[in-house]
Amino acid sequence: MLFEKQRAFKPALKPINLRLDEFENFIIISPIWAMSLASAIRSFLNGFDFKGKNILPIFTNAGFGIGNALNVMKQECPKANFLAYLELSIELFERKIKNLRPLNLDKIKAGQSILSKKDEQELKAHLVNLSFEILKP
């Protein structure tokens, strides 16, 4: 990950059929890797023109902060309008559970949130504050 950060690595992504002109607002969620924006998110952002679009960045981390992720995101989308970012710090479950994927998939299948109650409330309040409509499944 450090090598990716130092080289501003942008991995190839499968083609995405997305027409940005159909949308005004985007919520971009990225985990923090080596105190920076995830390389795959960097590739995604670099693949589209977000000129004049509103971006609400949400960063997840294990309690170490967002590093330079917001600055990197702004470099990849220089003509976008950035709304106040939200940072969600998760507990360090990986110290107790070696593979979180099965746990998260079980929660998703059961219709449960993978966020803590505190993070879920913070996310909803942030979206309401920014006048984003919260859609229920």
Q: Judge whether residue 43 has pLDDT over 70.
A: yes
Average pLDDT over residues 62-76: 90
Q: Which of 8-12, 40-44, 47-51 has the lowest mean pLDDT?
A: 8-12
Render pLDDT for 103-133 as a digit per residue (tens, 0 to 9). 777 877 888 776 777 777 887 787 777 766 5
In contact, 83 and 101? CB cutoff 8 Å: no
Q: Name which CATH class applies to 2-10+23-129.
A: alpha beta
Q: Judge whether residue 25 has pLDDT over 60.
A: yes
- Indicate the residue type of 14: K
Q: Where are the domains of the chain?
A: 2-10+23-129
In contact, 19 and 48? CB cutoff 8 Å: no
